[in-house]
Amino acid sequence: MASLKELSTRKDPLTGGHRMCPGCGAPIVVRQILMASKDPVVVVSATGCLEVSTTIFPYSAWTVPFLHNAFENAGATMSGVEAAYQNLKKKGKMTEHVNFVAFGGDGGTYDIGLQSLSGAMERGHDMLYVCYNNEAYMNTGVQRSGATPMGANTTTEPAGKVLQGKREWRKDLTEIMVAHSIPYVAQGIIGNWSDLTRKAEKAFSIRGPKFINVLQPCRLGWGYKPDSTLELARRAYETCVWPVYEVENGVYKISKPKEKKPVVEYLKGQDRFRHLFKPGNEKLIADIQAEVDRRWNLLLAKEATK
Amino acid sequence: MSKIVAKTGNEAMAEAMRQINPDVVAAYPITPATEIVMIFAKYVADGLVDTNFVAVESEHSAMSACVGASAAGVRVMTGTSSQGLCLMYEILPIAAALRLPIVMCDVNRAISGPINIHCDHSDTMAARDFGWLQIFSENSQEAYDSLIQAIRIAEDPRVHLPTMVTTDGFIISHCLDKIEILDDKDVTAFIGQDRKANNRLLDLKNPTSVGLLDLQDYYFEHRVPVAQAMKDSKKVILEVADEFAKKFGRKYGLIEEYKLADAEVAIVALGSTCGTAKVVIDELRAKGVKAGMLKIRVFRPFPAEEIVKALSNVKALAVLDRSDTWSAQGGQVFTEIRSAFYEAAKKPKITNFIYGLGGREIDLPQLHTVFESLKNIDKQPVVQYLGVRE
């Protein structure tokens, strides 16, 4: 990987003074991914927190070419940009290599934008799609998405007197992307910049469709102090709630925590899970632990079968 | 050298696309427009065009990819119909607001439900308020000619708006017609080798942000220029038409007047029905009835002044709509024409016939019925459905 000294000389894709919340992980995702590119980048963003907070006209925090079209179509929009680039390159009107990076939140990626993403990946466009996954529709006020974990309190599946937050397990988008047989799929966290930047660097070295799913704690939707964003991301990794791994041409490589911590270590710091600690909800926590274990073991088995 | 050939509307549009040789085409199959992109895909496969063809997984993605490619600065085309156009609706106004000169082949087809694959104008009319120019065609020749002109119109700096050229599903799209195909070199010379980009996302040295969040303080100022460009586009459409007529001999306007100069009774129609109406008008004229027709070629921008001027001496007018607004106030063409006449000193009595929904045939006797009704227009309801079983 490029040295930290070298990375520090690269152009910052976002200016300071954008309007993301204090402690927001989304701009960290953008910086950790884009600083891995030694070549020019062109960015497409789905509608969402990142887009609305960085592009309030007449200001834009983006120092690189940036396009926002709509919510569910970052994959398709980037397909068009990339097709235009390939055409210009074919005709000799552009010569430099460009890394095309689409950013979408989990709502714009797991849910409403899944088809657009799937199509773009299947067609083999040379692009990296990054999901900055904060596990709910944060921009519209913390509504549940297909990425929201079981038991989490959201405004459309709230914890109440009868129900205890989201009743369903989250969808495994990363594995859906693996099933597309694209050259590179990865899952990462913002709490380990060198790992995520290395993954992005690897993605940029590969031609064709790439996908990285980054867990991005949201201090507003998850309910924690703004200074613990990175720490919380690391706890997701240490508890195996959010495995950090990559799949390169079908081969799994998992970053295993030194010691697999119990899920309560991750759940307890967050308001969205607070109701799980009420008497009577012990089984829910046990269920979450069992599901995390099941998925973790499944992943280990995938790595073992080479 | 130009040549006379037999082509369906879809073949004619695909042929125009081959000659236009767009940089990017993103499209998805839908009856009856599928054939256009199928034929075009073969051109790509055979190396007859330089286009990067993106065979997307939906029309929503087709229009999204068109926006991406057009924002990147290249010449972009697509084609669709009906439900496909409906699926694009969310992105159509974004293409207009970003001032992207995307050109679309739109084959008019009824919208669901119930599901139907045949012609009416409900798909295109529902897209009338999205900031796209809309050009209707009476036959394959017009579709071919208008598609070539559309590139020039859309890319003109005074316009910079996306444009759809429509044919009538199956009636034009699938029927063989004798048309003149221009020489490839003449088409290239007419439209210019490349788009002069107004918006270059791929200008790496001058990074731009496109599609920003526009709130109460700027949104209005960014929408109104679309209205101005739409207004200004009339002049551009006519300039391009004049140049086309000088070079290739066929003359087009915003509207076409057929035996209107002394007409006392007249109809207004769009698309393939105009061909049928011309026969009826000739028959009536032979019997001494002063009948005429105003064909609307360009529905967006709406040629209100031209229509009022052309029809001011008519006594009784029937507006034919091949779609309904479901407002109980008549079809889209009727409501706009009636509104256009509001300030006019001289105006005809106007009635509305909604006809041909879902591909229901419009024939000579039905059009004779329309003209017959104009004899006592005062007794006609404001809106009636023509050719529907009671």
* Chain B interface mutation, best of A87, A94, A123, highest count of B Cβ atoms under 10 Å: A87
pLDDT digits (tens, 9 = 90+) for B187-242: 999 999 989 876 689 999 999 999 999 999 999 999 999 999 999 999 999 999 99
Closest by alpha carbon to B305, among B270, B337, B266?
A: B337
- Distance (Å) from the alpha carbon of B365 to chain A's nearest alpha carbon: 48
Q: What is the pLDDT of residue A182?
A: 98
Measure the CA–CA gap between A52 and A215, rounded to whole angstroms.
20
Is pLDDT above 90 for A4? no
> Contact A111/A149 with Cβ under 8 angstroms?
no
How does residue B390 score in pLDDT terms, banded at 50, 70 and 90? confident
Q: What is the pLDDT of residue A279?
A: 96
Closest by alpha carbon to A34, among A98, A124, A106?
A: A98
Closest by alpha carbon to A262, among A298, A244, A288?
A: A288
pLDDT digits (tens, 9 = 90+) for B13-50: 999 999 999 999 999 999 999 999 999 999 999 999 99
How does residue B9 score in pLDDT terms, banded at 50, 70 and 90? very high
Residue A69, chain B, CB below 8 Å: the answer is: yes
Cβ within 8 Å, pair B202-A85: yes
pLDDT digits (tens, 9 = 90+) for B43-97: 999 999 999 999 999 999 999 999 999 999 999 999 999 999 999 999 999 999 9
Domains of chain A: 4-304 (3.40.50.970)
Cis peptide before A217 (omega within 30 of 0): no
Q: What is the pLDDT of residue A154?
A: 98
- Nearest chain A residue to B60 by CA: give it: A73
Cis peptide before B113 (omega within 30 of 0): yes
Q: What is the mean pLDDT of residues B102-122?
A: 98
pLDDT digits (tens, 9 = 90+) for A235-283: 999 999 999 999 999 999 999 999 999 999 999 989 999 999 999 999 9
pLDDT digits (tens, 9 = 90+) for B261-283: 999 999 999 999 999 999 999 99
Q: What is the pLDDT of residue A306?
A: 65
Residue A208, chain B, CB below 8 Å: the answer is: no
Q: What is the pLDDT of residue B199?
A: 65
Measure the CA–CA gap between B390 and B18, rounded to whole angstroms.
46
Cβ within 8 Å, pair B64-A69: yes
Give the position of tokens 């459905």.
B385
Cβ within 8 Å, pair A58-B218: yes
pLDDT digits (tens, 9 = 90+) for B143-170: 999 999 999 999 999 999 999 999 999 9
**Neighbouring residues of B248: CB distance < 8 A, sequence distance ≥ 6:** B2, B145, B180, B182, B186
Q: What is the mean pLDDT of residues B328-355?
A: 97
Q: What's chain B's average pLDDT?
A: 97
Q: What is the mean pLDDT of residues A54-82?
A: 98
Domains of chain B: 3-248 (3.40.50.970), 255-386 (3.40.50.920)
